[in-house]
Amino acid sequence: MDGLNVSIAFFFLVVGACQVLRWLSKRLLSPGTRGCLAREFAGSFQLCTSCLELRMLMEIGLWGGGFGLDVVLTLLFLLSAVHGASFDGASANPTVSLQEFLLLESSPAATAAKLLAQGVGTGTGWAVTRLYWSWELTQLHFIQNAIAPECSSSIRASLPHAAFVEGSCSFLFHLVLLKVRQSHPLCRVPALAATVTFLTYTAGPFTGAFFNPALATATTFHCSGNSFWEYIQVYWLGPLAGMLAALLLFQGNIPRLFQKNLLYSQKSKYKVPKAKVTAQAEGDKPQRKRKGGKSNSEPRA
């Protein structure tokens, strides 16, 4: 269990360092694009380092550390909750940033800046975690450092099946995100953490259950077993298709592309009262009779 304690201390250190970075960005940077860049970088760095260490515990710790899958899943839920509570509005996920762009909540320049910051953050997180493993503080890190250069692909299914799994995970995740994104953090954070834990548990044996293109790129693209284009199909096109399907199902349209609702009819809240044609017609008849009576009553000699 010493290896698990060291990993937990590493998680606390990473989250603390990223919180300091967020605090400094609020003090020193403007709340616009520069502040957004710092938040996305910190969130992506925090997510990547935590994911790599947690995957190491899941792959090696189950037989080398003496703890079961329940410990890893509990850590995954807690880390997901901490990420959701500490990200300060950052998504650390390219598909979420693209979803905000399609919902007209982010400009093209801001979206491009977010994607760039996410890429740099995940790349830096990968490099820092590899450096941390090279110190070999525990037996688990020693094993991980020895096998890291010869890592194998996380795709353990046929290519269409793997792309479908990643797309389905992204679809369910974005549906939950769209449903709870306006909710109170006390409801939103546990809901998203439970969703991530469930999807990782069910889809992890097939693809690793990343449903995050930036995270998958830093984690598994350098591993042997599949080509770069196959990784793109599974870990980029799959989650992107899942996000678009979730957005279309939830909204009925994609605001950035077209305004017409394709799935749901929008009824007007206000009812226009119908004109009482019958009453008006009945009100006209006496007037016509009176006019006719006056015209017929002529004086006689």
Q: Which of 48, 49, 57 is nearest to 141 (CA)?
A: 57
Q: Say what the alpha-carbon torsion angle 167, 173, 174, 179 is, to the nearest 10 degrees.
A: 150
For position 82, what pLDDT does the model report? 96
Domains with residue ranges and CATH for the chain: 1-251 (1.20.1080.10)
What pLDDT sits at residue 294?
A: 45
- Let me know: does 190 contact 81? Beta carbons within 8 Å: yes
Given a cut of 50, whether residue 143 has pLDDT beyond it is yes
pLDDT value at residue 66: 65
**Strand partners for 187:** none
pLDDT at 53 over 70: yes
Give residue 171's pLDDT.
98
Give me the residues paired with residue 152 across strands: 224
Note the pTM of the prediction, 2 decimals: 0.85
d(CA 230, CA 216): 13
pLDDT at 85 over 70: yes
Smallest CA-to-CA distance from 99 within 203, 9, 4, 212 is with: 212
Closest to 83 measured CA to CA, from 70, 68, 96 = 96
pLDDT for residue 51: 95
Residue 138 or residue 286, greater confidence: 138
Q: What is the pLDDT of residue 113?
A: 93
Cβ-Cβ contacts under 8 Å for 196 (sequence gap 6 or more): 76, 77, 80, 173
Any residues with CB less than 8 A from the CB of 48 and at least 6 apart, and which?
Answer: 121, 122, 124, 125, 126, 129, 214, 215, 218, 219
Q: Minimum mean pLDDT among 7-16, 22-31, 166-175: which range?
A: 22-31
* The predicted structure's pLDDT at residue 283: 53
pLDDT class of 64 with cuts at 50, 70, 90:
low
Residue 31's pLDDT band (cuts 50, 70, 90): confident
Evaluate if residue 10 carries a pLDDT over 60: yes
Higher per-residue pLDDT: 277 or 58: 58
Query: What is the mean pLDDT of the segment spanning 221-248?
Result: 95
pLDDT tens sequence across 161-218: 999 999 999 999 999 999 999 999 999 999 999 999 999 999 999 999 999 999 999 9
| pLDDT bucket at 2, cuts 50 / 70 / 90 | confident
The confidence score (pLDDT) of residue 277 equals: 45
Across 115-119, 123-127, 135-139, 264-268, least confident range: 264-268
Q: Which residue has the higher pLDDT, 114 or 272?
A: 114
Of 65-79, 110-124, 254-268, the one with minimum mean pLDDT is 254-268
Q: What average pLDDT does the segment 251-270 reach?
A: 76
The tokens for 48 are: 């990547």
Written in H, E and C, the secondary structure of 213-268 is: HHHHHHHHCCCECCCHHHHHHHHHHHHHHHHHHHHHHHHCCCCCCCCCCCCCCCCC
The values of phi and psi at residue 224, to 5°, are -85, 160
What does residue 152 show for φ and ψ, rounded to 5 degrees? -110, 165
pLDDT band at 125 (very low <50, low <70, confident <90, very high): very high
Q: Cα(first)–Cα(last) distance of the chain, in Å?
A: 128
pLDDT at 269: 45
